[in-house]
Chain A
């Protein structure tokens, strides 16, 4: 992750170290020919930072391997195991269902920051991100954000840490245009807003950020609490589509950096005026 203390910034590029840079990555050699788009997320773990995930919900397919809660009470913030694996709302289960449908072999970890006992949500959210990075979970779906000005620097630091630790933060953009919400507005995350084409595999790349990707988020059939289901609209439901696709990508290119993952994602995007269905991946 970060350079070791005392290590020169130029060290990786010194003649005796340059062999470490010999890495094909996703763009060279045999790897470039691989197609990540048909993968199923095998070997990839995805964190869902949300209202919890209902473990036994059919839409989750038994892929929830762990559940934790972040409890903030005053200055005290704790991450504790949540063996009940409940979702008091349904929102987190909805996200998990979308991810599971796209990457059925990916393992899911629920990090619950909403619901009872979640006072000081901004702080709890920040701690959740810190925990995800510490656990080295490669992808996190963040269908929520914070508008706390006081935590601006904290979130900025966290997304940089995630970037350097090869952890992809997939963030839903605010539903209110122009509203500042974090970490979705930071350039090192993968920010997602909704489009209304009813296809989970159609997604767009926007070369005019802040929001870089558009995925299905209008009238999406989703799982809901109590083994239920509903039809939901919001950027919250666009983000997990991209998360699911990134789980596919990561299962093929396990060591792709966030920069490379974003590029591959952009490369596979549907064209704006493309005949839909031809450009879609499958």
Chain B
């Protein structure tokens, strides 16, 4: 495969393939997990009835509710709305955050979703999820228990939204690895590109194919997401110490890097 590439290019492609393979193992559901963590934290911090994240579905052009927290929020998961209607639609299309309370004139609050879930919130805070200039979706918080939403609440929610946007971006990059490789390997024939990518990934991971210890290591790292914060801290410390001793022994072997570091100070 890919005979036209130089040795360097092939080495780089294999590197990318390996990273992609590891990323898929590590990140399979990281996006949803992270987003769920964010809505859970949002509900907790605001003392809200519910929170949700809706993302633009590029295929359908609709906003899809991917995660929600709080009992009132659960029915919303999986629902879709037009990206121009209601509060979520306004925030999505304008990029402006907003907090609303006490709907008196329009009991539906202009939200199609409230009709379908039967849950009519008394107050809503909605902020956009933004990745640079592009709006990815909307984070909404419903019914703050003690009082109405403030400007500060909008600012705090915006920080959560920024985290969510970063999580989405990172996960998307991992998924894109295969697509990027396919593009690089074959611009015109996608069926061959798929085969070429599989081949490349298998070549890239061959070194580790029988290496159960390596994949066990990757799986263990992936599992770290579910352990308690203190256990995770311990694991991070251990890994940092091991990595540091490994890299410093390598540096000492060459001598140059550590010498540079010293003279630089």
Contacts and interface: CB of A to CB of B under 8 A. Distances in A.
A227 B151 contact: no
Contact of B158 (A145, A175, A196, A233): A175
B154 A175 contact: yes
B133 A175 contact: no
User: When A and B form their complex, which 8 residue pairs have the shortest distance between CB atoms, in order from nearest?
Assistant: A228-B105, A228-B106, A233-B99, A175-B97, A176-B158, A89-B90, A229-B105, A231-B101
B85 interface: yes
Given A89-B89, A144-B94, A150 B105 contact: no
Interface stretch (A15-23, A110-118, A199-207): A110-118
Contacts of B87: 89
Given A88-B89, A91-B98, A234-B97, 20 more contacts: A90-B90, A114-B84, A121-B94, A143-B96, A144-B95, A146-B95, A150-B133, A175-B98, A175-B154, A176-B158, A177-B155, A219-B148, A224-B105, A226-B110, A228-B103, A230-B100, A233-B98, A233-B154, A234-B98, A234-B99
Given A89-B86, A89-B110, A224 B133 contact: no
Contact of A147 (B86, B95, B101, B105): B95
B84 A230 contact: no
Interface in A115-151: 115-116, 118, 121-122, 143-150
A194 B152 CA distance: 11
Interface residues of B, number: 34
A51 B90 contact: yes
Nearest to A179: B158
A236 interface: yes
Interface in B123-168: 127, 130, 132-133, 148-151, 154-155, 158
A250 interface: no
Given A147-B95, A149-B133, A231 B100 contact: yes
Contacts of B202: none
Interface of B: 82, 84-87, 89-90, 93-106, 109-110, 127, 130, 132-133, 148-151, 154-155, 158
A110 B84 CA distance: 18
Contacts of A145: 95-96
A230 B109 contact: yes
A114 B151 CA distance: 23
Contacts of A217: 151
